[in-house]
Structure 1
Amino acid sequence: MPAVAQFDSLTALLTIDMQQGIQRVSLPRNNPGAEQQIAALQQHWRAAGWPLVHIRHISRQADSVFAPGQSGALFQPALEPLADEYVLEKNVTDAFCHSALERWLHVRGIEQVVIVGVASENSVEATARSASNLGFKTVVVNDACYTFDKTDFAGNPRSADDVHNMAMANLRDEYAEVVSCAELRKRLANQP
């Protein structure tokens, strides 16, 4: 996949599932500073006047922490959308599936998306794959995403770092450009 040349008002920042319920997961996780990285990227997008999309999972299961009316479905206070920013609710891992996201982006002429959030191998990976398959230039910010320890298909325990790194490897070059926050900030600062 060719490198993305620049970022501008046709680049949307997609923040995925940064809700209060995800903070209740008791498993070990990676990238403990991801929330701060996401907040800094959101601030940059706001200062530039670029589009932000806040995606939240709303579960169809009444006993889920992400069910409507549960505090877990609310955005984390530090990452709450502003009144004029787009909020998209999804019921499956992929933010493009059964939603208006693709149309919303196309109507605004948005050609590129930068993806951050949780969980790396779940909603982040699913959304990035669809974005790429739908023709959007796709960037995933490695250290502004995170996940949790998980047991693999063969029954072997895997650390959150292992799970995350495999998700990034699955996306890299095939579906998305995977960058660090530092690399992205450097590129943003060096743009004309």
Structure 2
Amino acid sequence: MEITENAALVVVDVQRGFEDETYWGPRNNPEADRKIAELLDAWQTSGRPVVFVRHDSLKPDSPLRVGGAGNAFKEYVEERRGKGTGPELFLTKSVNSAFYGTPDLDAWLRAAGVRQIVVAGIQTNMCAETTARMGGNLGYEVFFALDATHTYDAVGPWGWKLSADELARATAVTLHGGGFAKVVRSEELVAAVR
């Protein structure tokens, strides 16, 4: 795998509010935070751009609501902000895709000549997947670090239930099979930038 010198790591919604298991329910992939931290370290050490995305929920009962303690980045993400040798962007959003945030992610990437993005973060099948899909639609070469994401069990229409692992697999199949992104492991990405 070839990762360009200016490939951007897009870290989606790694916020304290996602630790609230009573709100979200059971999650998968307990190693996700360690994998996200490893990607951040590799990107920052190599001088590549990093985008920190924060979800500012408009729902008053959400653990991610503006003004709530859960809106903040997890500690390991916050302590890495501003520590890299490359460009950095902080953006906020209130919808699923980081491409509909402030400031404009697409404009920032294009101005820097970025054509590759790596997506990691929370939730696998929600904001991370939506950001990857839209990145693919906008013409970026997207790498989706599946093991550097996690999600939660969910209930859909007619009482259908899917576990977090099932949802993560569905995301991987959809992104890969639909041509939106290359689904990869974080260690492959770390090795490629070292």
Distance 1:155 1:63, change over 3 A: closer
More displaced 10-residue stretch of structure 1: 33-42 or 172-181:
172-181
Aligned partners of 2:46 and 2:193 also within 8 Å: no
Structure 1 position 93 matched with structure 2 position 96: yes
**Hey, what's the Cα distance between the residues in 2 that align with 1:74 and 1:137?**
29
Q: Does 1:185 align with 2:190?
A: yes
| Residue in 1 that maps onto 2:14 | 18
Q: Which of 138-147 and 76-85 deviates more?
A: 76-85
Aligned to 2:111: 107
Superposition map of 1:153-172 within 5 A:
153-172=157-176
Deviations 1:90-113 (A, max 9, x none): 010111125401001111111110
AA at the equivalent of 1:162 = E
Q: Does 1:59 align with 2:57?
A: yes
Aligned length: 185
CA, structure 1 residues 34+98, in 2 after alignment: closer, same or farther (shift >3 Å)?
closer
* Percent identity (aligned): 33
CA distance in 2, matches of 1:181, 1:61: 32
**Amino acid corresponding to residue 180 of structure 2 in structure 1:** Y
Q: Deviations over 1:62-82 (max 9, x none)?
A: 332222221111000111152
For 2:167 and 2:156, the matched residues in 1 are separated by: 9
- In the alignment, what sits opposite 2:144? 140
TM-score (norm. length: structure 1): 0.90
Q: For residues 20 and 119 of structure 1, do their structure 2 counterparts lie closer, same or farther at Cα, with a shift above 3 Å needed?
A: same
Compute the RMSD of aligned alpha carbons: 1.6
Gaps of 5+ in 1: none
TM-score, with structure 2 as normaliser: 0.89
Question: What is the match of residue 35 of structure 1?
Answer: 33
Per-residue deviation at 1:182?
A: 2.6
Which moves more between the two structures, 59-68 or 90-99? Answer: 59-68
Aligned 8 A contact 2:92 2:101 in 1: no
More helix by percentage: 2
- Aligned-pair CA distance for 1:186: 3.5
**What letter corresponds to residue 77 of structure 1 in structure 2?**
E
CA distance in 1, matches of 2:100, 2:92: 11
